[in-house]
Structure 1
Amino acid sequence: MTAEFARIGVAFERVAAIDAREHPDLVLQPQHAMHAIRPLSGSEIACLHSHRTCWTIIAQDEAPYGAVFEDDMVLSAKAGALLADTSWIPADADVVKLETFFAKTMIQRRRISVGRGFSVFRLSKSHVGAGGYLLSRQMARHLLDATAQVNVAVDELIFDLALPRSARKTIYQLVPAVCAQDQFVGDRLPSLLEQEREAARVASGLAVKRRKLTAQRIRKEAGRILRWIIDFCRFRQHIVVPLDRTEAID
């Protein structure tokens, strides 16, 4: 990350991550009800509290926004110019997701141009991953309160709009994104956390796929078409958020 930030000309502060092995007490905290089937691992809980350390800094700082990046991100060549200025951030933004996970999500069709070839859209559906995002000072305080007594997956806490607390946030998605995990771009740093999650899913049987009967497939397709019509009428669109080019532009 030192090399990444140097490449785009941005100063940063390294925040030491929480090590689950050194804080076994964190695992004893209650977990959110959404994790009843597959409880969070010690690593996932430590990840949450690592982000909480960053939120504490943002909540106590005078700056209106803070940017948080995990340690396996690849940054766009234009990320530096964007991060050096906050005037482009919509006034009502609680969170701006800077990352893409290359998974289909949903955004509102209203586009707000922010210059330099970027736009922001209101996020209308969960877009997982907490590798890179901007957070308002007030939202940092809100997230700290929300996790004071309960553990929850950090990306779902922030970006899963099905959660009641998430539904009250104003979340924007930057398009194209200015960062992505190295596992998707450079393939040098596999996500150990995702490997751990996948192993847990397999162990619990959640990863087993069952063949669907023809009638079930027909109902699924009909439901998909109906949802598309509803989304179109509500001015929403599906998208796989692209990543802005990461190499320097001559």
Structure 2
Amino acid sequence: MLTLLINLESRPDRLAFMSTQLDRLALPFERIDAVDGSRADLAPVAETLTAVEQACALSHRKAWLRFLETDHARCLILEDDVILAPGLKPFLDEAGNFPDDVGALRLETRFMRTRLGPGRRCRTRGFRLHQLHSTHYGAAAYVVTRAFAEAAARDLAVFTQPVDHVLFGAADACFYPPAAFQLRPALCVQAELVAGVKDASFARSDLEGPRRARLDLLEQAVPQRRVKVKRPVSQKLWREIARWGHKLKRMKGFAHERFVTRRAWREIPFAGPGVPAPAAPLPVPRGEQAL
């Protein structure tokens, strides 16, 4: 399987970090020169996307195009700040782990509770593939097929949302794939989320500052709650009845989802060494939170 590593020319520290891991795993790779978000011609095309996030998305598209220049059937795409589990190469070497209908398979975790479909057993023992039914941020490690890369390179020439939302934001309007899948447990995790590593210079995300600034602006635009007012007893009674009706409806929906469609909110652990660091997660929209 082809392995492509997205890396900025200005970050040789990250290249060295990834090269050490990949060499240790005996996993050959090709470097993709990432698009620099500080370029003057990279102006945000929407308020939902910063220049740095646009550069990140274009870097991933660049990797898809390079993949299509080869004769490989699948490609592992990595960003340059991920920790790789020792089991990554054995998992990639087993062709039976990659069903033909799985066009995009996410290999990383950000330790977010995620709404997943029923698991399919992988050929490699202890791993399962789950269809994503909620957003799990991050596009630092994933496998795509030629068919998926061809369609994505054709359809995604311009980005108005971050690439991880487009690829793995199953609950977002911008979600592109017909279906995306998550490996559980994950074989990769971004260094900023692992204690003992997160404070290293190579672990500092180039996206975190701009993305948080954009999200803060969006949150400021959300209308404030209305002032609480006194209501008649009859109105309070009907509101309470409606509240319980809504609660029962949610419970019915939860039961249908859990026992009929067999979807559930689950943690996605990391299959390698390291303990999650207490990092501040990106905000999850209320509609995506667990019941």
Regarding TM over 0.5, the answer is yes
**Counterpart residue identity of residue 187, structure 1:** K
Post-superposition shift, 1:127?
1.7
Q: Which residue of 2 aligns with 1:16?
A: 33
Check if 1:187 corresponds to 2:201. no
Distance 2:160 2:263 in 1: 32
Post-superposition shift, 1:145?
1.7
Post-superposition shift, 1:152?
2.9
Contact 2:118 2:262 in 1 (8 A): yes
Q: Which residue of 1 aligns with 2:110?
A: 101
Count of residue pairs the alignment pairs up: 238
Check if 1:135 corresponds to 2:144. yes
Q: Percent identity?
A: 26
Distance 2:176 2:49 in 1: 22
Post-superposition shift, 1:146?
2.1
SS in 2 for 1:87: helix
Q: Choose from 166, 169, 177 the match for 1:160.
A: 169
Post-superposition shift, 1:134?
0.2
Distance of aligned partners of 1:208 and 1:3 in 2 relative to their CA distance in 1, 3 Å threshold = farther
Post-superposition shift, 1:187?
1.1
RMSD of aligned Cα (Å): 2.9
Q: Choose from 130, 141, 147 the match for 1:121.
A: 130
Check if 1:2 corresponds to 2:28. no
SS in 2 for 1:43: helix
**Counterpart residue identity of residue 123, structure 2:** V
Post-superposition shift, 1:119?
1.6
Contact 2:107 2:186 in 1 (8 A): yes
Check if 1:27 corresponds to 2:54. no
When normalised by structure 1's length, the TM-score is: 0.83
Q: Choose from 40, 59, 64 the match for 1:55.
A: 64
Unaligned segments of structure 2, at least 5 residues: 1-17, 229-235, 275-291
Distance 2:111 2:225 in 1: 26
Larger Rg computed on CA atoms = 2
SS in 2 for 1:114: coil
When normalised by structure 2's length, the TM-score is: 0.72
Q: Which residue of 2 aligns with 1:197?
A: 211
Q: Which residue of 1 aligns with 2:254?
A: 228
Q: Which moved more, 1:105-114 or 1:51-60?
A: 105-114
Contact 1:94 1:139 in 2 (8 A): yes
Distance 2:110 2:250 in 1: 22
Distance 1:165 1:152 in 2: 7
SS in 1 for 2:265: strand
Contact 1:72 1:182 in 2 (8 A): yes
Distance of aligned partners of 1:109 and 1:87 in 2 relative to their CA distance in 1, 3 Å threshold = closer
Unaligned segments of structure 1, at least 5 residues: 32-37
**Greater relative contact order (CA < 8 Å, ≥ 6 in sequence):** 1
